[in-house]
Amino acid sequence: MIELDYRNCLAARIGSEGISEEKLESVKKQAFAELENIKKNPPGFMKLPVRFDEARKIREDAKKYRDFKNLVVLGIGGSALGNITLKNMLTHTYHNQGKNGGYPNLYVLDNVDPEWTSELSDIIDLKDTVFNVITKSGSTAETLSNFFFFLEKLKKERSDWKDHLVFTTGNKGFLREFADENGIKTYSVPEDVGGRYSVLSEVGLFPAAVTGLNIESLLEGAADAEENEHVPVTYAALQYYFYKKGKNISVFMPYSKKLESTADWFRQLWAESLGKNEKTGPTPVKAIGTTDQHSQVQLYMEGPKDKVFTFLSVKDSSPEVKLKYDGHFLGGKTMRGLFNAELEGTTGALTKEDRPNMNFEIPKIDAYNAGELLYQLEMACAITGGMLGIDPFNQPGVELGKKLAYEILEKNTGQLI
């Protein structure tokens, strides 16, 4: 199972910048107590891993859409980042360039940038494309903008346009009404699951199933994570402790290109859940190893000691690539060996500079471990929020921004999307 190595957070290694074993045990007791409190009234995301019947139905449904060449997900925030994470983690890096094993290409439009939308339209043939429109509220302006753009094209070009649409939405809102009026295939987002916690719901499972991922294994990993709950508890305890000690920046740094999007997903989870009431808010920062050793690490080594670092690494990764060049120190070495040495060098240097850092080690990159990792991070976030005394499941700041944007749009155009 996934392991968390937190030794480089201990005072025994980094002195006064670290936490003593005794203090850590005390904070972990608080975290465990918060976990038990959460279990008394479990949030919706905790119910997702055991929904195997729903997953099997989604897998069967997905087969109907595998004759399409392209699956385009229209969503934003939690309706998109989980899908991007699963695609990048679990499919071939060049999935959309012909390495898709016969499954549809997957494109995720998670912005309302007109150039981006138009350029996607340039490269896909609508007759070969199905659109999965995802918005829990059914009224997200950015998502509906992209939907309306492609809907117009579908209606002009395809008499069977309804067969090219699948909605994932809540029980009310524009999208639900449109689906009911037009007979569009629709999946429901569980009412008690927020977007950033929804990757293991229909939001993430349908696109994953269409593109050939093992969604039952994904859920199994998440379900088994409860047997490994000391990991999210310890992670929450450390994040809470260092935040309270003034380290209000949380750097998340995978050492795997396939795990890079996990950092994007983590940023939303951490920022939207924990930044509340003008009082709390550990700021999540994305980095990627080894790339950001050449762009950010200078700051991390010699800048302010206001950060705690989370690394993400893979124990068993293949293929192995041996470097063959006589007369150079890299000759006879492996690319994986260099990658691992870079990780050890970075963590070792941070430790020498008394900067707390810890490492999630994944046995290997597959659906099972993806499910466990994402669920553990969701659990850790919920526990941290409880310890901070805030609600980690709402996002009033986001709603205010949407409201103001709609007011501006109405003022400028006289109508809302």
Active centre residues (catalytic): 272, 294, 402
Residue 349 contacts residue 293 (beta carbons within 8 Å): no
Residue 132 contacts residue 73 (beta carbons within 8 Å): yes
Burial class (CB in 10 A: 0-12, 13-18, 19+), 65: buried
| 342: nearest Cα among 334, 1, 331, 365 | 334
Question: Any idea how long the chain is?
Answer: 417
Backbone dihedral region for residue 15 (phi beyond 0: left; psi -120 to 50: alpha; all else: beta): left
**Torsion, Cα of 18, 22, 24, 30 (10° steps):** -150
Biggest alpha carbon distance in the chain?
71
| 250: nearest Cα among 313, 311, 310 | 310
Question: For 71, how many CA atoms within 13 A lie in the half-sphere containing its CB?
Answer: 32
